[in-house]
Amino acid sequence: MHVLSVSSLKGGVGKTTVTLGLASAAFARGVRTLVVDLDPQSDVSTGMDIQLAGRLNVADVLTSPKEKTVRAAIAPSGWTRNGPGTIDVMIGSPSAINFDGPHPSIRDIWKLEEALSTIEKDYELVLIDCAPSLNALTRTAWAASDRVAVVTEPGLFSVAAADRALRAIEEIRRGLSPRLQPLGIIVNRARTASLEHQFRIKELRDMFGPLVLSPQLPERTSLQQAQGAAKPLHIWPGDSALEMAGYFDQLLDRVLRTARIGEYAEAPAV
Class of domain 2-260: alpha beta
Residue 237 has pLDDT above 50, yes or no: yes
CB 143 within 8 A of CB 109: yes
Average pLDDT, the chain: 91
Who contacts 53 (Cβ-Cβ below 8 Å, separation ≥6)? none
pLDDT-derived band at 265 (thresholds 50, 70, 90) equals: very low
Mean pLDDT of 68-81: 96
Residue 63 has pLDDT above 60, yes or no: yes
Least Cα distance to 102 among 134, 148, 141 occurs for 134
pLDDT at position 193 is: 81
pLDDT at position 51 is: 82
Higher-pLDDT residue of 62 and 9 is 62
Mean pLDDT of 165-190: 93
Distance, first Cα to last Cα, the chain: 27
pLDDT-derived band at 262 (thresholds 50, 70, 90) equals: low
Global pTM reads 0.93
pLDDT more than 90, % of the chain: 73
Mean pLDDT of 202-218: 92
269: phi then psi, degrees, rounded to nearest 5: -65, 145
**What digits encode the pLDDT tens for the residues 123-133?**
999 999 999 88
Mean pLDDT of 136-150: 96
**What digits encode the pLDDT tens for the residues 93-114?**
999 999 998 888 999 999 999 9
Q: Mark 64-90 as b/e (b = at least 16 C-beta within 10 Å).
A: ebeeebbeebbbebbbbeeeebbbbbb
pLDDT-derived band at 184 (thresholds 50, 70, 90) equals: very high
